[in-house]
Amino acid sequence: MSELIFELSHKGRCATSQIPRRSAAKITIPAHLLRQDEPRLPEVSELQVVRHFTKLSRANFSIDTQFYPLGSCTMKYNPRGVHHLAMLDGFLNHHPLSLPVNSQGYLACAYELQEILKAMTGMQGVSLTPMAGAQGEFAGVAMIRAYHRARNDAARTEILVPDAAHGTNPATAAQCGYTVREIPTDKDGNVDIESLRAAVGPQTAGIMLTNPSTLGVFEQKIEEIATIVHTAGGLLYYDGANLNAILGKVRPGDMGFDVMHINLHKTFATPHGGGGPGGGPVAVSERLVPFMPMPIVGKKDGFYDWLTEKEYPQTIGRLSAFMGNAGIILRAYMYARLLGKEGMERVAEFATLNANYLLARLKAAGFTPAYANRRASHEFIITLKTEAKELHITALDVAKRLLDYDFHSPTMYFPLLVPECLLIEPTETETKEVLDAFADALIQILHEAKTQPELVRTAPHTLPVKRLDEVKAARELDLVYREK
């Protein structure tokens, strides 16, 4: 790998043209509040900075450079035009506390996105402020809690979560002060209805569901689940992680959900940025509208304005200093406008076509699907349990070897229910040729596993580093650079 930027540093060097001119104005800070030493920042030239970070960028896989079939992550093309337009001066230099009269351009986009998301989800209210899926989940569960409290129903202390759920679901419920009860999955990948029936009661605040589930299959008894939970007095939370699978086909509002979050960085193609920023707007049914997090954009007589505690006195409150990841909201809005109605209706169709095609090819080549008798949604799982036993090759080995073929690996070891699994989500923006090449690579790796297992077990071989020692990293924490 490259040297660290600190190793390029030379005392006294700097990027002169970036440094503001000295001022003659007075300094009024008392000496005891001033810093005496210098922080440990590199002293380098502008060219050194540009070269260093450009080099670092080249050590990454990304959607722009590789196929990235990460299950449950929806790594689709992030349109360049959207990024370019979000970087217009008027958007970039706009202060979050500018008066609405100076913010009509941005507010119009945010307002229209709220309307688009309502229509698309079949919900009655949208707040754009949550900054990521996990924060949307937090907002959703906090609203469920506020709803029960407002009705003086203090007995509801439990949130139900299917055992296949994303880890954020139980973590969020716990963060909102709920105890978590897991509901088992049946052999076809559906929520086990009898267990659910046995679990609900006056203590049930709600259930958190992903549909299609993380197992890559549609929860067929969703209406029955909704009835069971609603009858018990609980609410239904929809985890929007897999929304791409049903965009334009089914709406969470119509399935009976009361609240959901939408991952803008998945379904609405905003860039993942190497792990953020995300965007996690929440959409709610009528009864949760009063509790939405603030602020929301309103429109009156053609004028856009912020709505806050004044208009929504029962709000769960603020989730960010300003209005969430505004730049991501702007990008999601533009993406929605580029897709339009007809484009949006196609998303689920082609995401599903691509997933089922890839699954069919891999099945034909001898790979084992985890749920062979089910239709794949926008993603599917193959299990390498047999290969692990017979060839001593793990899902991890296959994932790492794929990197050598210039493909990012699928999600591995998730969901935890399926042993040695790879969760594969190709998205709608990939061509048939890419899917074919990916299938061919997996087939070739399976062949290698039989003929040259060591090659697979020690992969990757062509990347900047070989397999990294995570145990050493965790035992001997080295989290900041110190000069030797």
Partner 1 sequence: MNSVPKKLQYSKTHEWVRKDDDILTVGITDHAQTMLGDLVYVELPEPESSLESGQECAVVESVKAAADIYSPVSGEVIEINEALFETPQLINDDPYGKGWLFRVRPYENDSPHLLNSEQYSKQVASEAH
Partner 2 sequence: MPFIPHSVNDIKQMLATIDVANIEQLFDEIPVHLRVKNLPAIPESLTEMELGRLMRARAHLDSELLCFIGAGAYEHHIPAAVWSITSRGEFMTAYTPYQAEASQGTLQLLYEYQTMMASLMALDISNASMYDGATALAEAILMAVRLNRKNKSNRILLPRAVHPFYQDVVRTIVSQQGIEIIEVPYDKTTGCVSLETLDEMTKEDITALVIPQPNFFGVLEEVDALTDWAHSKHALAIAVVNPLAMALLKAPGQWGKSGADIACGEGQPLGVPLASGGPYYGFLCCKKELVRQLPGRVVGRTVDSEGKQGFVLTMQAREQHIRRAKATSNICTNQGLLVTASTIYMSLMGPKGLRQVALVSHQNAQLLQEKLATISGIEFVFQMPNFHEWVIRLPKSVDVVLRELAKLKVQAGFSLRQVYPELGECLLVCATETKTAEDIEKFVTLLTSVLSLASHSNDKTEKKSNVRTYL
Instruction: Tell me how far, at minimum, the Cβ of 319 lies from partner 2, in Å.
Output: 6
Q: Which of residues 8-67 bind partner 2 (CB under 8 A)?
A: 13-15, 18-30, 32-44, 46, 49-50, 52-65
Is the CB of 80 or the CB of 451 nearer to partner 2?
80
Q: Which is nearer to partner 2, 195 or 220 (CB)?
A: 220
The secondary structure element, H or E, covering residue 181 is strand 179-183
What is the C-alpha to C-alpha distance for residues 8 and 81, in angstroms, rounded to an integer?
A: 35
Which CB atom, from 64 or from 390, has the smaller least distance to partner 2?
A: 64
Min dist CB 197 to partner 2, Å, is: 20
> Phi, psi at residue 47, to the nearest 5°?
-60, -40
Q: Which two tokens stand for residue 371?
A: 């749920």
Among 180, 193, 417, 455, binds partner 2 (CB under 8 A): 180
Q: Is 187 in the site for partner 1 (CB under 8 A)?
A: no
CB contact at 8 A, 205 and 181: no
Site residues for partner 2, window 250-269 (CB under 8 A)? 250-251, 254-255, 269
Query: Judged by CB, which is closer to partner 2: 389, or 432?
Result: 432
| Span 439-478, contacts to partner 1 by CB under 8 A | 470-471, 473-475
Looking at beta carbons only, is 79 or 170 nearer to partner 1?
170
Beta strands in 301-451 (DSSP E): 303-307, 368-369, 380-383, 411-412, 421-424
Nearest to 110 by CA among 322, 283, 326: 326
Closest distance of CB 473 from partner 1, Å: 8
Q: Pull the structure tokens for residue 331.
A: 């990008």
Which range in 194-202, 232-240, 338-346, 383-391 contacts partner 2 by CB under 8 A?
Answer: 338-346
| Residue of 346, 391, 419, 453 that binds partner 2 (CB under 8 A) | 346
Picked from partner 1, partner 2, none, the partner binding residue 201 (CB below 5 to 8 A depending on kind) is none
Binding segment (CB under 8 A) for partner 2, from list 79-87, 227-235, 387-395, 417-425:
79-87
The 8-class DSSP code of residue 152 comes to T
Nearest approach in angstroms of CB 204 to partner 2 is: 16
Q: What is the rounded distance in angstroms from the CA atom of residue 387 to the CA atom of residue 381? A: 15
Query: Contacts with partner 1 in 218-257 (CB under 8 A)?
Result: none
x-or-dash pattern for partner 2, window 415-454, by CB under 8 A? -------------xxxxx----------------------
Query: Which of 234, 415 has the CB closer to partner 1?
Result: 415
The residues with which 216 forms a beta bridge, in sequence order, are none
* Pairs from 257-260 (Cβ < 8 Å, separation ≥ 24): 257/209, 257/226, 257/285, 258/144, 258/206, 258/284, 258/285, 258/287, 258/288, 259/140, 259/143, 259/144, 259/235, 259/283, 259/284, 259/285, 259/288, 260/121, 260/123, 260/140, 260/284
Give exposure, 429-446, as e/b (b: 16+ Cβ within 10 Å).
bbeeebbeebbebbbebb
State residue 142 phi and psi, 5-degree precision: -65, -35
Angle between helix axes 432-451 and 326-364 (nearest 10 degrees) is 60
Q: Which of 293, 312, 418, 438 binds partner 2 (CB under 8 A)?
A: 293
Interacting residues with partner 1 (CB under 8 A)? 470-471, 473-475
